[in-house]
Structure 1
Amino acid sequence: MFDILNKYTSQGNFFLTPEKDLPSVCNAPADTHGIFIIYALKKGRVELIYIGHSGKVEKDGSFSNKSNLKDEIINANQFGKTPAHIAWKKQMTRENIEALNIYWYATYNANNKDCPETLKKKLLRQHQDIFGSFPKWNKSV
């Protein structure tokens, strides 16, 4: 669905199940910025449920890198002010999700200078155009 992501050579994915700890299974790099896409696996079905990012370009053109890709995946606030490594496991239990398949893409590094925030907005709009809504864990662009 997101062919635009094929150009990124630094990419990967990992699975999170309710019995695993996010910091121990996350294989995203800690020295780069980019986007991540989360798919929920539930009752033999796969659903894209979240698109996230780390880093953005400020109005003055500088790159704001408060957290790297790995840190954003593990520690960003989700569902209020709860870090993802806690919130996602709780939400998986609430929604009876068997596993999360988390794909990450380094979009702002030595090889690419694509703003993660801008790319996330583009992907959210593309999802909305196809499905009529944002992924269920995303509130808005």
Structure 2
Amino acid sequence: MFDILTKYKNNGYFDFEPDDKLVSVCNAPTNKSGVYLVWNSTCNGNKELIYIGRSGKKENGKIVHRKAGLGGIKDRLVNGHQFGKLPRKRIWPIIMLQYGIKKLTVSWFDTENDDPVEVERLLLNEILHIRGSLPVWNNQPY
């Protein structure tokens, strides 16, 4: 699954628990764009893919990185809004506690010169084809 991601050599992951500070545990780059996958790591010892997201886009042949705040993939993960108007650093702990999620694992990939919008689209299409549905956090506003 997600064979396209194997070509991106600048990648990493981190774990996040409701009591953590997202800005502290997030090791994603501040000067790169790409995609990230969020896994619920508390599903009976298995990981369940619950979200696919991206940071940045390609304009006029160049990758445009998110520059507000921290910048790059890290800024999108920490300060990007999800489930309404709150940034992830505030809403993720609330949602995790509400749904009994003890730990998230976030995998991130610098998509280099590939458009993060296109890579995200390919990943979402692949999971839709495999599962017949999008990851739950891509699908629901909560």
TM-score (ref. length: structure 2):
0.89
Indicate conservation of the 8 Å contact 2:50/2:137, yes or no.
yes
RMSD after superposition: 1.5
**Following TM superposition, where does structure 1 have runs of at least 4 consecutive aligned residues deviating by more than 4 angstroms?**
none
Structure-2 residue corresponding to 1:120: 120
Identity %: 40
Structure-1 residue corresponding to 2:13: 13
Indicate conservation of the 8 Å contact 2:33/2:66, yes or no.
no
**Cα displacement (A) at 1:80:** 0.7
Query: In the alignment, residue 105 of structure 2 is paired with which amino acid?
Result: N
> Which aligned pairs between 1:1-141 and structure 2 lie closer than 5 A?
1-42=1-42, 43-58=44-59, 60-67=60-67, 68-108=72-112, 113-139=113-139
Query: In the alignment, residue 49 of structure 1 is paired with which amino acid?
Result: I
Q: Secondary structure at the match of 2:110?
A: strand
Q: Distance in 1 between matches of 2:22 and 2:39?
A: 15
Q: Write out per-residue CA displacement over residues 21-63 of structure 1, whole angstroms, 9 at most, x where no aligned residue.
A: 10010000111111110000224232000011011124x5454
TM-score (ref. length: structure 1):
0.89
**Can you give the 5+ residue segments of structure 2 that lack an aligned partner in the other structure?**
none
Q: Write out per-residue CA displacement over residues 59-117 of structure 1, whole angstroms, 9 at most, x where no aligned residue.
A: x5454333411100101000011101111111111110110000000113xxxx10111
Q: Secondary structure at the match of 2:138?
A: coil
